[in-house]
A and B are shown apart, each in its own frame.
Chain A
């Protein structure tokens, strides 16, 4: 496939040039010209007022493949030290919804851990759990994990596989996708079923987190997606739910890496950030490191933790462990107070599922106000100190 300009229709207005995220369109002799930087994102097609930009099929393009043999939704249930991690339950919530919509079954894959943990997955929504309790899976090594999941996928042919976008999921799931020759979409923030085609619509931040993209995997199965912790809501826990645990053998599974030590290094602020009910976060608008001292004081008064945008972390005003967003932590506190944060999508995807968002920013056009529950247009250095003062008075 290629994106081309119908030069008879093109008026040379240049709107496509501005729309292109890859600066791959130039105006030459009054007509638009798409050069070799084109990544086929189709952004230009939607802005062209003349409908002059079209996609053309080329010889060898895959049109359709038989995908009907692939059925069912799977969740990879990650475990650490034998305990299933929280994101697995969140994925079961999302997976259950997708499976019901597709009128199919939801299965979980648990490598390592115990049968008790496998049974818990049923209570959280799985109809079936493929469980292998071989000791090779106790510690995480990429090759055994990927070989096992590849074997199971080839045998049972699921149409969708979901995994947590954790250090483990993000490390070994790509090997699985490479091996079974299918698509993988990282860090999805929403998953939906396309009503017409039944394809999985995988929505994720793109281009450095400045905009959202819907990704499809139309001609390959399974459709694999990773989802960051705390993005999806858990499903309902039902202690009397019935399902089957299918034991699986690890025969023939090998690996060339070996974990020789595991060191726990619970960074306090990281833990606090993800468990805090209130987060006070700062961005570039604070314009100096001292601003974070002020936010710390406010966070302390509200019993919360301090977060930051990538801009503030890049400036060196605050440590990376405070970073919220696509390349930092995903959080969903009860209250998120964004101070001097403009609201790049990169940041929004890390905090937009917070219950209440309070945005304080000088610029009334700042995108952070688009996701805010309460917005205050004003100077952070006027609002926050007064807020601190009044909260202290109220406490005294």
Chain B
């Protein structure tokens, strides 16, 4: 069995701040990490590998530095990795990103594809399902438990707003996973050694066989028109004075709102 795990290298967005004077992002010193949800996808793949002897290949699309994410994946136990990287991929939205991943995955062979439910920098949750559509395979999103896996089928629990569904699918299938699924392992010492020595195989636009009009900015239907900081409320009222005064004033306002 072949399992492919798609990961994304993202800035640790919990470290990103806005500079209040310029209304721009302060990214200085912000570390890059593997998207946290993707670690749960990798852990799920490694657990299936332990049970069935499947081969786990981790892929990422990104700039040359995304190699670090792949080395981390090897240290956790991935058998093989591919870095999908080409200048022509820059500026890709979810459509163009999914298209490139699909082209690469087609070349690799697969029974199960695992992705995090979304990336913490974009939060779109689109790439997984789009890859499945391009590959013309079924997908199940928001997996919180894998109940059963065989060579031909899989049974999982899908998280919904008001509970969960138990869903079966034939293989091949793509799954996107939530954090409740498992706890990602730490890299082993042996894994770290392997990661250090590993030669990272790259795939560029020619290798994956994509056309320029379907990748990167050119292949992207959406464009960012502008970015801006959220606007302030004009009618804000600051409550000042001693703590006693502030609390008294707040209670008066709450009374006015018939909250007390």
Binding site for B on A (CB under 8 A): 1, 15, 18-23, 36-43, 46-47, 60-62, 80, 139-143, 146, 166-168, 170-172, 174-175, 177-179, 181-187, 201, 205-220, 255-266, 278, 302, 310-311, 314, 326-327, 334-335, 345-346, 348, 352, 356-358, 365, 367, 369-379, 382-383, 386-387, 390-391, 394
Contacts A142-B141, A373-B235, A382-B243 given; indicate if A183 touches B227 (C-beta within 8 A): no
Alpha-carbon separation in the docked complex, A180 to B126 (Å):
14
Contact at B129–A171, with CB atoms within 8 Å? Answer: yes
Q: Which residue of B lies closest to A22 (CB)?
A: B27
Contact at A278–B132, with CB atoms within 8 Å? Answer: no
Closest 8 CB pairs of A and B: A208-B13, A183-B221, A183-B222, A265-B163, A171-B141, A174-B129, A370-B232, A178-B133
Report the minimal beta-carbon distance from B250 to chain A, rounded to whole angstroms: 7
Alpha-carbon separation in the docked complex, A346 to B15 (Å):
13
Question: Can you show 12 pairs from A to B with CB atoms below 8 A apart?
Answer: A40-B217, A140-B165, A170-B126, A171-B139, A177-B95, A208-B123, A213-B224, A215-B222, A264-B163, A370-B233, A370-B236, A371-B233
Chain B residues in 8 Å Cβ range of A170: 125-126, 141
- List B96-141 residues whose CB lies under 8 Å from chain A: 98, 120-130, 132-134, 137-141
Contact at B163–A326, with CB atoms within 8 Å? Answer: no
Chain A residues in 8 Å Cβ range of B221: 177, 181-183, 217, 219-220
Chain A residues in 8 Å Cβ range of B14: 208, 310-311, 314
Q: Which residue of A lies closest to B30 (CB)?
A: A23
Contacts A214-B225, A365-B20, A373-B236 given; indicate if A183 touches B95 (C-beta within 8 A): yes
Alpha-carbon separation in the docked complex, A383 to B250 (Å):
10
Interface membership of chain B positions 152-176, coded 1 if the CB is closer than 8 angstroms to chain A and 0 otherwise: 0001001111111111111001000
Interface membership of chain B positions 180-224, coded 1 if the CB is closer than 8 angstroms to chain A and 0 otherwise: 000000000000000000000000000000001100011011111
Contact at A376–B167, with CB atoms within 8 Å? Answer: no
How many chain B residues touch A (CB < 8 A): the figure is 96
Binding site for A on B (CB under 8 A): 11, 13-14, 16-20, 22-28, 30, 63-64, 87, 90-91, 93-95, 98, 120-130, 132-134, 137-142, 155, 158-170, 173, 212-213, 217-218, 220-233, 235-240, 243-244, 246-248, 250-251, 253-254, 257, 259-260
Partner of A37, one of B17, B63, B132, B259: B63
Partner of B236, one of A18, A185, A259, A372: A372
Contact at A42–B165, with CB atoms within 8 Å? Answer: no
Contact at B126–A177, with CB atoms within 8 Å? Answer: yes
Contact at A209–B123, with CB atoms within 8 Å? Answer: yes
Contact at B224–A383, with CB atoms within 8 Å? Answer: no
Report the minimal beta-carbon distance from A266 to chain B, rounded to whole angstroms: 6
Chain A residues in 8 Å Cβ range of B129: 142, 171-172, 174-175, 178
Partner of B168, one of A23, A146, A257: A257
